[in-house]
Amino acid sequence: MILWIMPTSSLTGHSIHGGYYDKLAKAFSMGRLDVGIAPAVITSLKDPYGPEHKKYTLHPHLALWDYSLYKGRLYLYFGAAPALLLYLPYQLITGTALSDGLALITLLLLTTGGCVAITLRLRKKSFALVPTWIFGLAGLVLVTNSLWFILVARARTYEIPVAACAAAMTWAIWATVLAATPDENRRKNLAIASLLYGIAIASRPHFIVAICAIYVTMLVLFRKDNYSSTGNRLTEKILDAFAMFTPFCMILLTMAAYNYFRFDNIFEFGVRYQMGEVDQSHLTFFDPSRIPSGLWISLIHLPHRIAHFPYLAPVGIHSGYLRNGRIFIENPLGFLWVAPWLPAAFWIYARQSNPRSIDARPIGGQLNLTIGLYTLVGLVMLAMTSSWCAYIDRYASDFGYFLSGAGLLVLLHGSASSGLQERRFCRTTISIAAIWGCYMTAVVTYPYW
């Protein structure tokens, strides 16, 4: 199914909007931060960031669309982690360029592997009574409801950091859960989680808001945690804090230096110098006043009826939504159309957590922490996406994957409930969601057929 949806060019080469990471990896291999000198036809423009640049940057012989121009040099505003950790090693080992399609598949497989690792970790205590076929259907729900097929259908450079961040976040949450387990090596897992959270930010910088929220949760969680009664409690806490923060902070400092040496500003990633759809030098990228309309676009926006299969399709937004500094909207489909089962899952969570409920199976320990972290990241990124100055289809994966993952863990827990009705409800919901997810995959990818 993936190979059927993915453009052939993504597996064998690069489109006009692809290959950016390959060029950045080549620049890194030569000890450079820029990917080249801007052509004179661009630098001679009165306003190289205004509309005039489009006839040059979109020209197939120049192909400079979405590069960042600063002091006559071209840079990339994309997070550098995929280039450094995936494209560059591939170039050094094989001597050839890694296509964006193969890179995307690799990253999505890494994310899937992290999901499997988390599930295996939780299965013994929380999912022991869940049949294997339910896990298979749950996996299908996660893949379709995470909107990964939008990434696959586009399969360009833009989708790479989304997938890279998802992979790093998944394994980071896995390490965080292990660090919260008394019988595991806390310090080693804290260091691994810290490193992976840093890689996630180096792929998708605005995830720093969600990761800071995770760090607050971790500090609260470990504040009262049990330490060895024979050791020095203060020393152990200091060492844990060192493991928790050092790799993360080192990556942040590296990113700050990377930005400074390119744009003379540690907080500038190059977006304000981007030669894209509009001049972005004066934009307000995040604005809380956009959240109400952004939530409608992200969660509820209705599909459009068409006369042939799949009979529903994403549709453009009324121009009235292009206010409060919102400059561009693709053809979104409200996420609750893709995952209409999600409210029911969180209703089940509230029911299972209620000690007065007859069928209550309190969700605690590792499972509760995993659900909490996935939900936290999903909600923070939903708010971030809703307040952003543009809405691009792939942005839905930033929150859709995490909210779907949290909801599925709740349903898997309910599938092992001692209450017959709740167990049947959860298993039926997963089964129907799997079928619906396959259909909605055709709907959300329709614009890319």
- The per-residue pLDDT for 7 is 58
Percent of the chain with pLDDT over 70: 87
Residue 358 clears pLDDT 60, i.e. is over it: no
Q: What is the pTM of this model?
A: 0.92
The size of the chain, in residues, is 449
Q: Calculate the alpha carbon distances from 150 to 145, 333, 384 in Å.
A: 10, 11, 19
**Residues 211-221 as b or e (16 or more Cβ within 10 Å = b):** beebbeebeee
State how far the Cα of 174 lies from the Cα of 341, in Å rounded to an integer.
Answer: 25
- Which amino acid appears at position 146 of this protein? S
- Could you tell me the two tokens for 162? 């989304």
Task: Give me the mean pLDDT over the 242-264 stretch.
Answer: 97
Closest among 151, 150, 168, 149 to 159, alpha carbons compared: 151
Q: Calculate the alpha carbon distances from 352 to 343, 360, 422, 428 in Å.
A: 14, 4, 10, 17
**Residues 253-263 as b or e (16 or more Cβ within 10 Å = b):** eebeebbeebb
* pLDDT single digits (tens) 28-38: 999 999 999 98
* Mean per-residue pLDDT over the chain, rounded: 87
Task: Give me the mean pLDDT over the 83-107 stretch.
Answer: 94
Task: Give me the mean pLDDT over the 425-441 stretch.
Answer: 96
Closest among 143, 3, 99, 6 to 445, alpha carbons compared: 6
Give residue 229's pLDDT band: very low, low, confident or very high (50, 70, 90): very low
* pLDDT single digits (tens) 177-223: 999 887 668 899 999 999 999 999 999 999 999 999 999 988 887 77
Higher pLDDT, 168 or 331: 168
The domains of the chain are located at 83-448
Instruction: Please count the other Cβ atoms lying within 10 Å of the Cβ belonging to residue 15.
Output: 15
Higher pLDDT, 62 or 374: 374
Residue 170 clears pLDDT 50, i.e. is over it: yes
- The vertex-274 CA angle with 273 and 275, nearest 5°, equals 120
3-state SS, one letter per residue, for the chain: CHHHHCCHHHHHCCCCCCCHHHHHHHHHHCCCCCCEECCHHHHCCCCCCCHHHHHHHCCCCCCCCCCEEECCEEECCCCCHHHHHHHHHHHHHHCCCCCHHHHHHHHHHHHHHHHHHHHHHHHHHHCCCCCHHHHHHHHHHHHHHCCHHHHHHHCCCCHHHHHHHHHHHHHHHHHHHHHCCCCCCHHHHHHHHHHHHHHHHHHCHHHHHHHHHHHHHHHHHHHCCCCCCCCCHHHHHHHHHHHHHHHHHHHHHHHHHHHHHHHCCCCCCCHHHECCCCCCCCCCCECHHHHHHHHHHHHHCCCEECCCCCCEECCCCCHHHCCCCCCEECCCCCHHHHCCCHHHHHHHHHHHHCCCCCCCCCCCHHHHHHHHHHHHHHHHHHHHHHHECEECHHHHHHHHHHHHHHHHHHHHHHCCCCCHHHHHHHHHHHHHHHHHHHHHHHHHCHHHC
State how far the Cα of 15 lies from the Cα of 154, in Å rounded to an integer.
Answer: 10
- The per-residue pLDDT for 221 is 78
- The per-residue pLDDT for 11 is 56
Closest among 383, 301, 372 to 335, alpha carbons compared: 301
- The per-residue pLDDT for 359 is 54
With contact defined as beta carbons under 8 Å apart, do 86 and 107 qualify?
yes
Task: Give me the mean pLDDT over the 232-249 stretch.
Answer: 89
- Could you tell me the two tokens for 433? 């969601």
Burial status of residue 21 (CB atoms within 10 A of its CB: 0-12, 13-18, 19 or more): buried
Between 45-49, 96-100, 194-198, 440-444, the lowest mean confidence (pLDDT) is in: 45-49
- Which amino acid appears at position 165 of this protein? C
Between 97-101, 417-421, 444-448, the lowest mean confidence (pLDDT) is in: 417-421
- The per-residue pLDDT for 267 is 95
Q: Calculate the alpha carbon distances from 137 to 130, 419, 431 in Å.
A: 12, 21, 6
State how far the Cα of 174 lies from the Cα of 436, in Å rounded to an integer.
Answer: 28
With contact defined as beta carbons under 8 Å apart, do 445 and 5 qualify?
yes
With contact defined as beta carbons under 8 Å apart, do 394 and 205 qualify?
no
124 alpha-carbon distance from chain centroid: 28
- The per-residue pLDDT for 417 is 76
* pLDDT single digits (tens) 295-330: 999 999 999 999 999 999 998 775 555 666 777 778
Residue 228 clears pLDDT 80, i.e. is over it: no
Residue 144 clears pLDDT 50, i.e. is over it: yes
Residue 13 clears pLDDT 70, i.e. is over it: no
- The per-residue pLDDT for 64 is 79
- The per-residue pLDDT for 237 is 83
Instruction: Please count the other Cβ atoms lying within 10 Å of the Cβ belonging to residue 295.
Output: 17
- The vertex-375 CA angle with 373 and 378, nearest 5°, equals 110
